[in-house]
A and B are shown apart, each in its own frame.
Chain A
Amino acid sequence: AQKVTQAQTEISVVEKEDVTLDCVYETRDTTYYLFWYKQPPSGELVFLIRRNSFDEQNEISGRYSWNFQKSTSSFNFTITASQVVDSAVYFCALSYLFSSGSARQLTFGSGTQLTVLP
């Protein structure tokens, strides 16, 4: 069975602070995808990143960075110099990856509400 845990229910930071959102996953699968989605107040789920289990390289995209560590089953997300517009609910998710390249449905964590105060 797959499980994704986002232990931080709510986080508040002041603008320009750095913030890290934690994600810990459980899976018996050896091949899988990990995702982060953002849900702003408008409601839609916005795709941020997908990583596969073969690639443990960390990734940086502007103020966003992701730290994937297979040894600790974690896929943490850091926002550098946070801004008010970063306020949203952030979801981490996991999907099994078949050898054919197709994937099973997503298993989501419960989300972390990030509030960035001006």
Chain B
Amino acid sequence: EAGVTQFPSHSVIEKGQTVTLRCDPISGHDNLYWYRRVMGKEIKFLLHFVKESKQDESGMPNNRFLAERTGGTYSTLKVQPAELEDSGVYFCASSQERGFGNSPLHFGNGTRLTVT
């Protein structure tokens, strides 16, 4: 079974530019989450999709961040325009059940974003 895949693995952009991160969850997983870790701090929740619907986006920092999951498969997270404080590692995770049940949350390798 393929795991959660994220693209790109690294991205270096200048302040003011736009970047789009992509996440492909494990096939069949309706629940998709975005998290990020900034400056070696804790990993923080950004938002949660159930299929194509945003279930909880309370962690999105501001309106420069836009997440989509058209068709309920892969998801994209766009940052426009990027600011220096957006630098960090962005993780995507998926699960079959929202309650985790017998399956844990599966994380991808993350995308390391550097804004200069």
Assess whether A110 is in contact with B105, with CB atoms less than 8 Å apart. no
Assess whether A43 is in contact with B109, with CB atoms less than 8 Å apart. yes
Is B8 among interface residues, defined by CB-CB distance under 8 A? Answer: no
Q: Within 8 Å CB of B59, what residues of A?
A: 105
Is A60 among interface residues, defined by CB-CB distance under 8 A? Answer: no
Q: Within 8 Å CB of B107, what residues of A?
A: 37, 44-47
Known: A45-B91, A105-B33, A110-B41. A98 touches B99 (CB 8 A): yes
- Shortest Cβ gap from A79 to chain B (Å): 19
CB < 8 Å A-B pair total = 65
Q: Categorize the interface residue count of chain A.
A: 20 to 34
Assess whether B105 is in contact with A106, with CB atoms less than 8 Å apart. yes
Is B110 among interface residues, defined by CB-CB distance under 8 A? Answer: yes
> What are 25 A-B pairs at a CB distance below 8 A?
A4-B42, A42-B109, A43-B89, A43-B110, A43-B112, A44-B108, A44-B109, A44-B110, A45-B110, A47-B105, A91-B43, A95-B100, A97-B99, A98-B99, A100-B99, A101-B101, A103-B98, A103-B100, A105-B56, A106-B43, A106-B45, A108-B35, A108-B44, A109-B42, A111-B37
